[in-house]
């Protein structure tokens, strides 16, 4: 397969799991990015990709709703804030992890928590008094949307 064909296969939700597994071994990081984003990628393959040396692969794993909760919990403490942003946006992130990320030092992580439809109202109330005005506004918007 050409590079473009591999990327298309990696992103295609109809690609069989065994092909996705094979694509995780590809040298090209863009192919692995696609596998990490694919909603049909099996959790065990995402667990393997969670150890990838490429930060963007890990960021994409963090965003994938099929990623196991244990990996999302580990990623919530990742040194790269972009990976933590992916976890903050993931609607499958455990609620206790979202509560922890609501106290992250990086405003974009907290903004992701405020934007996440799974964030509990009590966490949104905390974010409504955040130092960052964007976080406050998003938390208020999210809470108001739920009340309607």
Q: Domain limits of the chain?
A: 1-67, 79-148
Residue 146: what pLDDT?
A: 80
Confidence (pTM)? 0.91
Residue 147 confidence (pLDDT) above 80: no
What the block records as the tokens of 7 is 């990327």
The mean per-residue pLDDT over the stretch 11-17 comes to 96
Could you tell me if 77 and 52 are in contact, meaning their C-beta atoms sit under 8 angstroms apart? no
**Cα diameter, the chain:** 52
The mean per-residue pLDDT over the stretch 24-29 comes to 94
Q: What angle separates helix 81-89 from helix 55-63, to the nearest 10 degrees?
A: 20
Residue 148 confidence (pLDDT) above 80: no
- For 69-121, the pLDDT digits (tens) are 999 999 999 999 999 999 999 999 999 999 999 999 999 999 999 999 999 99
Residue 58: what pLDDT?
A: 96
How long a stretch of residues is the chain? 148
The mean per-residue pLDDT over the stretch 44-68 comes to 96
Residue 49: what pLDDT?
A: 96
User: Dihedral through CA 116, CA 118, CA 121, CA 123, nearest 10?
Assistant: -60
pLDDT band at 57 (very low <50, low <70, confident <90, very high): very high
Q: How far apart are the C-alpha atoms of 29 and 93, rounded to whole Å?
A: 25
Q: How far apart are the C-alpha atoms of 131 and 28, rounded to whole Å?
A: 40
Residue 1: what pLDDT?
A: 85
């Amino acid at each position: 397969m050409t590079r473009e064909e591999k990327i298309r296969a990696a992103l295609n939700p109809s690609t069989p799991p065994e092909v996705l597994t094979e694509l995780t071994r590809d040298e090209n990081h863009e192919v692995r990015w696609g596998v990490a984003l694919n909603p049909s990628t099996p959790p065990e393959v995402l667990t393997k990709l969670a150890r990838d040396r490429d930060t963007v692969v890990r960021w994409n794993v963090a965003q994938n709703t099929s990623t196991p909760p244990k990996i999302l919990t580990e990623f919530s403490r990742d040194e790269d804030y972009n990976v933590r942003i992916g976890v903050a946006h993931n609607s499958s992130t455990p609620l206790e992890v979202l509560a922890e990320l609501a106290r992250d030092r990086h405003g974009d992580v907290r903004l992701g928590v405020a934007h996440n439809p799974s964030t509990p109202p009590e966490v949104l109330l905390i974010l409504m008094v955040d130092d960052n005005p964007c976080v406050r506004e998003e938390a208020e918007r999210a809470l108001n949307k739920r009340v309607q």
